[in-house]
Amino acid sequence: MKKLYHKQSIMNALLATASGVMLALAFPRPGVYPLAWVALVPLLAAIRRVGPAAGFGLGFLTGLIFFSVLLYWIALFGYLPWAMLAVVEALFIACFALLANLAWRGRRFAILAVPALWTAIEWLRSLGTFGFTWGGLGYSQARWPEIVQLASITGVWGVSFAIVLVNVLLVESLARTDRRRYLFASLAAAVIVAMYLGGISSITRSRISAPDKQVALVQGGIEMAWRDSGLLDRIWRTYWPLTESIRGRVDFIVWPESALPDDLLSSPSLQREMSRLARAFDAHILTGGPHIVPDDRAEAGYREYNGAYLISPSGELAGEYFKVHLVPFGEFVPGRNWIPFIERYRVREVDYSPGKSHNTLRSESGDVGVMICFESIFPQIGRKITGDGAGMLFVITNDSWFGRTAAAAQHHDFSILRAVENRRYIARTATTGITSLIAPTGQVMGSISLGRSSVLTGRASFIRTKTFYTKYGDWFAVLCAAVGLISLLVCKTHSFLITKPRKHY
């Protein structure tokens, strides 16, 4: 008996491991996105036949492997941060596995309850100062535009729900020995076909005006992770010549995060240079740059902001935005004074200060919304600035921190979902890549690959209409949380009512 139990435990661990590996492979790189539709099958099959505690352990194993592989590039900042982040995120998968195990005891609602629980946990992962959405299943399908159109109604959460639903239906099919196994397999296929056909219809019916604005996205290709004595000179020798090489009329010229060599608001010489460029092209220029404010109350004697500036065709400053959602341990260190070994890792010596709000910027063509780097991974931020009137969205980012790892491609795919959710053109400009112009349907209209120094030009337009998701936000995720909670209450009630195990015939 012990030998049989030992063999079963090993088999369950192998199944959990298989799920972790397949989940990681579904994301860039290599980005085998169809794997997501079957990746959870081994884990779900394993947790169906164990107790809640064992289910938690199997979920943790899947999550640890998944996030360790997916986020391998975090090790660039040290093995401890990589391991800690993988463990924290794995705990979410572990909690899902435990709750899914309990939901299956309720039986009747399990097919909907399990994907609802996964979706609710993904949503909870996105909330708050320490929110983190990397590894959300919906993002694995970013390069399959027909599938992700559902996001304009439900947000990315609906795509994640559908993926887990298909996995659950396949597990139900494998668990049956009667004709119902074919029914569940057919339902799984029907979900994918329905999403695909619905996506084609949505793309066809999308009322998007003909693009009438010419945009030029400037990717310098120089690393700006850490400011050294030669960086400012490299910026001057890269971004100005690249911009001046643009031919033809343009309406918007976009530089990435951190592209300015100085604080635009306090440097008259930099203001004159940027004003000259804007007037020479008769175009708006959007660029990222620092902003430093003297403050005797701050420990360093000043406060620094991560900013974005919009310069009008007349050369005047049309508006500025300061990043609100900062990167924990990247742009600010929680409890810096209580972590004695923090100096061993590459963190900023002085924390950035957050901006006050996610404000839009006024251009002559209409309001534009800006997401700076990390902010593009949060559906709530894209929805907020679109709801406030942004007719076009810009993502400016500095991904040179991650070299040529898969982080840049993973980060890029978040912008695809933001475009679909809000039906807006997104111009995404990165320091070293990936720079791209994304249509409101999520199709990438053009891009500059990692490490190149180049300019991408294309056409976009301002859109006034708002999607169901833009209007009503994370309603689907909240609904999933409610369904998951109800299923768990039903399961608890069921366990009290049933005094003897059922016989299965």
Interval 272-311: pLDDT, tens:
999 999 999 999 999 999 999 998 888 788 999 999 999 9
**Between 492 and 407, residue with greater pLDDT:** 407
Q: What is the mean pLDDT of residues 316-332?
A: 93
Distance separating alpha carbons of residues 488 and 303, to the nearest angstrom: 47
Residues 217 and 342 in one domain: yes
Q: What is the reported pLDDT for 329?
A: 82
Distance separating alpha carbons of residues 272 and 113, to the nearest angstrom: 59
Q: What is the reported pLDDT for 107?
A: 67
Summarize pLDDT for 67-122 with one digit per residue, the tens.
Answer: 999 999 999 888 888 999 999 999 999 999 999 999 987 666 789 999 999 999 99
Question: For residue 351, what are its two tokens?
Answer: 């924390």
Nearest to 181 by CA among 173, 170, 190, 189: 173
Among residues 122, 373, 375, 384, which one is catalytic?
373
Residues 269 and 176 in one domain: no
Among residues 172, 323, 480, 491, which one is catalytic?
323
Residues 172 and 231 in one domain: no
Distance separating alpha carbons of residues 419 and 203, to the nearest angstrom: 13
Dihedral in degrees, nearest 10, Cα atoms 300, 306, 310, 316: 10
Summarize pLDDT for 151-180 with one digit per residue, the tens.
Answer: 999 999 999 999 999 999 999 999 888 888
Residues 288 and 313 in one domain: yes
241 touches 474 (CB < 8 A): no
Q: What is the reported pLDDT for 503?
A: 43
Summarize pLDDT for 394-405 with one digit per residue, the tens.
Answer: 999 999 989 899
Confidence bin at 496 (pLDDT 50/70/90): very low
- CA angle in degrees (0–180, nearest 5) for 275-280-285: 55
Confidence bin at 439 (pLDDT 50/70/90): very high
User: Half-sphere exposure of 277 toward its Cβ, with a 13 Å CA cutoff?
Assistant: 26
Confidence bin at 342 (pLDDT 50/70/90): low
In a domain, 502, yes or no: no
Residues 298 and 153 in one domain: no
Among residues 257, 320, 375, 421, which one is catalytic?
257
Residues 192 and 241 in one domain: no
> Each residue of 386-417: b (16+ CB within 10 Å) or e?
bbeebbbbbbbbbbbbbeebbbbbbbbbbbbb
Average of per-residue pLDDT values in the chain: 91
Residues 420 and 478 in one domain: no
In a domain, 308, yes or no: yes
**Catalytic site includes residue 503:** no
**Catalytic site includes residue 466:** no
> Which sign, positive or negative, has the C-alpha torsion 13, 14, 16, 20?
positive
Residues 412 and 294 in one domain: yes
Crossing angle of the two packed helices 79-106 and 475-497, in degrees rounded to 10 = 60
**Catalytic site includes residue 356:** no
Question: For residue 96, what are its two tokens?
Answer: 């899902």
Which residue range(s) make up the domain with 219? 213-464
Q: Where are the alpha helices (DSSP H) in 71-155?
A: 79-106, 110-125, 145-148, 151-154
CATH number at residue 405: 3.60.110.10
Residues 444 and 417 in one domain: yes
Domain count, the chain: 2
Residues 303 and 394 in one domain: yes
Residues 183 and 313 in one domain: no
432 pLDDT exceeds 70? yes
In a domain, 503, yes or no: no
Pairing type for strands 284-294 and 252-254 reads parallel
**Residue given tokens 């596995």 in the structure block:** 97
140 pLDDT exceeds 90? yes
Q: Can you tell me whether residue 309 is helix, strand or coil?
A: strand
Kindly report the pTM of this predicted structure: 0.94
Residues 246 and 282 in one domain: yes
